Amino acid sequence: MTTMTAEGLDILASSSALGPIILKNRVIKSATFEGKTPNGHPTKALIDLHTEIARGGVAMTTVGCCNVSVDARNLDNQMYLHTDLHHGLKELCDEVHRAGAKISAQLTHCGFFKQNKPQSTRFTLAPSFQFNKLGAPNGRPFAISMSQKQIQSLLGDYCGAAEVAVKAGFDCVEIQMGHGYLLNQFLSPDHNRRRDQYGGSAENRMRLPLSIVKGVKKAVGNNAAVIAKINLDDAAKNGLRIEDYLGIGRRLEDAGIDAIVTSGGRSSGDTSFMFRGDSPIPAMARLQKNPISKIALKLFGHMQYRATPYHELYFMELAKKLRSVVDCPLVYLGGVSSPASAIEAMKEGFEFVAMGRALIKDPNFMNNLLQNSDYTNGCTHCNQCVALVYSPQGVHCVLNQSTKCAV
């Protein structure tokens, strides 16, 4: 083994503040919903997975799809943050802390692309009326426009979920404003056609996401960092582009966000922009229980997930534009699966780097990187892990069955 001395590695290995918390280095495991909450509860499998990632040397691991209410979930096998989960969540946080890392909860609401049956309302809710192609096979072909009262109670849901997370021991909450989720739907005029104070101008479309940031910050105080994940490009016809997101980044900075995580694309549309690499549609179709969804995926799946050439740091050019207009900490995400890419992100002035698939492939990435200059991760971007969100056992790397990410 050799010790890596490349310029930039010192920064990657050094500690840094993220709002009120200190991260021991600059590497964060990004939110990757792992499908290990079959009954809506954190399971031993979920705890083991995040503990293994923590032991592998990252500074912080993120638990994806911590929904803010029962109807914020788009799949039945997701959890929503409520007080009944306190003990399970506390065990998860305690184990991750014992393993030497911090832990973040990604606060999500899917809005219109809900695939399961709403429990608290009759219809799926969204900023404006919307056809829901993902819900259609399950008899939920559309979502209706939220009332002002429902918007107000949404603010309470985000604050309540953040409080549950922090009480259980989470060090950070990440507000999901990208990937086509509800707050992204509010931001984007192709989904938000409202005529009240939440729609129309950029300022109005930003009103709800900003009030959620301010509300959540107030709710958690100095007990946790509050960060936001945004797109740099929706990659959708009539969706937002980098010029729009520069303004959104500035507004989040003004609202006191502790960091912005950079991403792109939509889970509700063509997801290849978000991931790059091979299309997992054949595997996804195999795993679908609903025969209509199976056929729909076989026939139309290529529109939702095209095989797209992968290259390292695929969001870097866009992310650098955001870097040039905000001073708040930025977490670079998208196509980091080599030590060189992680170091490059440091050299480009990003305070942190987040990784999804590379850590599913090898939770020990950071330890390996620090010990061995020849370390290669081996993720092939086959994206089979993405399809496994729908499997009963949840996500693992098909190339590496030896980790807790395996079953």
Ligand X SMILES: Cc1cc2nc3c(=O)[nH]c(=O)nc-3n(C[C@H](O)[C@H](O)[C@H](O)COP(=O)(O)O)c2cc1C
Give contact residues for ligand X (rule: CB under 6 A): 30-33, 64-65, 106, 176, 179, 229, 263, 274-275, 333-336, 355-358, 385-386, 389, 395
Nearest-angstrom CA–CA distance, 59 and 43 = 22
Of 53 and 199, which has the nearer Cβ to ligand X? 53
Nearest-angstrom CA–CA distance, 67 and 338 = 31
Q: Write down the least CB distance from residue 65 to ligand X, Å.
A: 4
Residue 344 CB contacts under 8 Å (≥ 6 apart), including other chains = 8, 313, 316
Would the CA dihedral through 113, 192, 183, 299 be positive or negative? positive
Asked if residue 301 lies in contact with residue 284, where contact means CB atoms within 8 angstroms, the answer is: yes
Backbone dihedral region of 180: left (phi > 0), alpha (psi from -120 to 50 degrees) or beta? Answer: left
- In the complex, which residue's CB is closest to ligand X? 64
Map residue 153 onto helix, strand or coil.
helix
Of 31 and 285, which has the nearer Cβ to ligand X? 31
Strands 142-145 and 130-131: antiparallel
Q: Write down the least CB distance from residue 39 to ligand X, Å.
A: 18
Would the CA dihedral through 380, 381, 387, 391 be positive or negative? positive
Nearest-angstrom CA–CA distance, 224 and 1 = 37
Of 51 and 262, which has the nearer Cβ to ligand X? 262
Q: Write down the least CB distance from residue 275 to ligand X, Å.
A: 6
Q: Write down the least CB distance from residue 80 to ligand X, Å.
A: 13
Of 73 and 229, which has the nearer Cβ to ligand X? 229
| Active-site residue flag, 181 | yes
Query: Which residues of 111-182 form beta strands (DSSP E)?
Result: 124-126, 130-131, 142-145, 172-176
Kindly write down the DSSP assignment for every residue of 178-213, as one continuous string. Answer: -BT-HHHHHH-TTT----STTSSSHHHHHHHHHHHH
User: Which strand ranges, in their side-by-side order, compose the sheet holding 124-126?
Assistant: 124-126, 142-145, 130-131
Catalytic residue among 158, 181, 314, 390: 181
Nearest-angstrom CA–CA distance, 124 and 253 = 31
Q: Write down the least CB distance from residue 250 to ligand X, Å.
A: 22
Q: Write down the least CB distance from residue 6 to ligand X, Å.
A: 20
Dihedral, 158, 160, 166, 169 alpha carbons, nearest 10: -110
Of 105 and 146, which has the nearer Cβ to ligand X? 105
Q: Write down the least CB distance from residue 200 to ligand X, Å.
A: 27
Helix and strand totals (H; E) in the chain: 15, 14
Of 18 and 194, which has the nearer Cβ to ligand X? 18
Of 110 and 199, which has the nearer Cβ to ligand X? 110
* Residues known to be catalytic: 181
